[in-house]
Amino acid sequence: MTCVACSGIIETETLKLKGIKSAVVNFATEKAEFEFEKDFDLDLFYSLLNKLGYRAIDTKSREVHSTNQFFNRDFYKALIAIILASLTMFFAMVVHNNLYQALLTTILIIAFGKPYLFAILKLHSNMNTLIGLGAFSSYLYSLYLLVFFPHAHPYFEGGAFIIAFSLLGHYLDGLAKTKARSNLSSLFKMQIKFASRINNENKEINTPVVDLILGDVIRIKPGEKFPLDGIVVNGESHADESMLTGESQVVSKALDSKVFAGSLNCEGSVNIQITSSMHTTELSQVVSFVEKAQLKKAPIQKYADRIVKYFVPVILVIAILTFIIWYLITKDLSMAMIHMVSVLVIACPCALGLAVPMAIMLSTSDAAKNGLLISGGDVVEAGSHIDTMVFDKTGTLTEGRPELTEIVLFEKSLSEQDYKIELLKIAASSLQFSTHPLSQSITNAAVKNNLSLLDPDKFKSLTGLGIKATLNNQDIVLGNADLLTAENITYHIEPNFYTSHVGSYVFLAIDKKLIAAFVITDPIKKEAQKVVKSLQDLNINVWMVTGDHAGIAHKVGAELGIKPEFIRSGVKPVEKADFILELQSKKFKVAMIGDGINDAPALAKADLSLAMSTGSDVAIETAQVSVLDGKIESVADFFVRSKRSMKIIKENLILSSVYNLLCIPLAAGVFYPFFKVSLTPTWASFAMAMSSFSVIINSYRVKK
């Protein structure tokens, strides 16, 4: 594809085929997605593309296509064309030989003019049509002068440089776009081609990765990359999974640990059992997700698409009017022809068409390498409009792993610390069969203290209350205050207890007597406070909603810098969705971030949904934005990235619009009567080549 109008042509023409349901083509990424019925004739589809002058390549075969070969070919085409055009100018300006000019330009047109002639004959409304009309008009007019007015000055060098600079611009655009796609291609390069498979005789066999099947066991040595997803069946090591999560810290791998394709095995030798094929790894899912995201157009792109649709016909009309007006005023056919050709050549819809998708492609690709999956250009634009951010507390702002932080005694003991350890052993022994997170936090604390647990004689779990157990002939009750009441345990807790010891509480009663309370808190993530501050600096209101009681909510909020009036506690999952609607009714643009499970109703109602995911559970199919590996700092990065992307997109649109608004009148000679300033077709073609390249270069600022 030579310009953004090409993508529109492909979409329009393929949708005319029977059986095609939808067609989306992205000029910047050079990717397309088609949805068709089962009995669709693929041969007819490929035949149509060939007739239109394009060729489709299955993305799954990407590894067999070398981008270096592609750009070497385009580079040499541009180089040869510029040499021929320069020689033509030499014989025009220095030696003054019109026949040599004609011969060199003819060779250049025969070698490189076919796509432009094809566009004219097929009446395509794209950049090649304008370039072709400009180049061939200049060439044919020069031939006319050569035959009928041998001593007149022809304009062969103009037609030659039009095609030469067009090829140069195409090469530079392609080079920049390929570099922009390098984030994704580098992910594919992380996958290796061979692995050491362990056979039934426990011998290593060097096997192509494509031949490995589910259940095969392979050995990965230190410094090697994991070729596919799998689980460790032998050995221990650490893995660098930064390519998937953006997290530089290595991850410990032991028996039954999951490993991911593309990650690096750091030190130990491990055997892993394959659990995925090449196209179902976490890495390939991330790449596929980002590629699909880049096909989704941002709403702001509709502005550019509407202009591009009518751009070429309007330019043709302007060029014809330019010729007529100049000829009527000057009676000079050459002057009229020069200005008409300049208008045809300098007009460039490519810059306008690249303004949005180029910035989106760079932004989403770079985000993916940093553990942030953005589902499309529409999401990038939506993120720039968000003014209210709603956080779920547990697992989002906090680690989601409750920890025992304090044991409060309700009766005094001479050896208080030893007594607490004894009570911890009793509680952990009684709770060891409970799967509740609060129970597990107490059990984990006992394990950390190297306590030997006893098996309870009796155990009963009471949903929503706690547990009852019998241990060493003692009746044990562990749970909340409602359980104490239900068990007719008489107790008195001082009012300041709840303010002095903020957290979740598991009360311990032995033989109907309240003995102690285990205070459990959920640690705040290290970067959470910084994220809240960053969002507030972006003028985004930060809310926290949680099902926990007010004491915990306000303690966490105070540590994070969230004002009390922006905290909602005791909120059920369904009520979180109602709260989102309440904020939206006040004209706020609301984003919600949660774990994607119990927060699903609220996420569905929000203007923008973000989900915390882990390397082993990437929620990339449902969330608009997925934060890999639970990296809370990526939340602020998304909004900074969105605002910066939209700023650059607007700059690109202004840059491309101003270019056309200024250069087209300049090429048409509007300023010539006043300032004696105009553009020859040669300089017009150079300006055209540089216009889209300048938009691409500006788009690279997205990554800063």
Provide the annotated active-site residues: 392
Rounded Cα gap, residues 112 and 2, in angstroms? 14
Residue carrying the six token digits 């009796």:
458
> Exposure string (b/e) for 388-417, b if CB count within 10 Å is 16 or more?
bbbbbbbbbbbbbebebbebeebeeeeeee
How far CA 330 is from CA of 153, 334, 404, 418, in Å, comes to 18, 10, 92, 107
Extract the tokens encoding 493: 């807790």
> Mind giving me the DSSP string for 258-287?
EE-TTPEE-SS-EEEEE---TTSSHHHHHH
8 A C-beta contact, residue 351 and residue 689: no
**What is the phi/psi pair of residue 612, to 5°?**
-80, 125
CB 84 within 8 A of CB 108: yes
Q: Which two tokens stand for residue 486?
A: 């239900």
517 and 366 in contact (C-beta within 8 Å)? no
Return d(Cα 122, Cα 143) in angstroms, integer: 24
Exposure string for 675-695, b = 16+ CB within 10 A, e = fewer:
eeebbbbbbbbbbbbbbbbeb
String of DSSP letters for 416-446: HHHHHHHHHHHHHHHHTT--SHHHHHHHHHH
Angle between helices 681-699 and 633-668 (to 10 degrees): 170
Sole residue written with tokens 């990437």: 618
Contact of 411 with 515, CB cutoff 8 Å? yes
Report the distance separating Cα 451 and Cα 152, nearest Å: 104
Question: What residue type is 629 in one-letter code?
Answer: D
Calpha distance 426→25 (Å, rounded): 66
Q: Whose CA is closest to 522, among 539, 494, 547?
A: 547
Label residues 90-99 b or e (16+ Cβ within 10 Å = b). Answer: bbbeeeeebe
| 3-state secondary structure labels for all residues of 532-558 | HHHHHHCCCEEEEECCCCHHHHHHHHH
- Rounded to whole angstroms, the Cα distance separating 340 from 133 reads 10
User: Please, what's the b/e burial string for 195-223 (b: 16 or more CB within 10 A of its CB; e: otherwise)?
Assistant: bbbbeeeeeeeebebeebeeebbbbbeee
Tally Cβ neighbours within 10 Å of residue 379: 23
Tally the residues of the chain: 704
Token pair recorded at residue 315: 């330019």
CA distance 590 to 605: 9
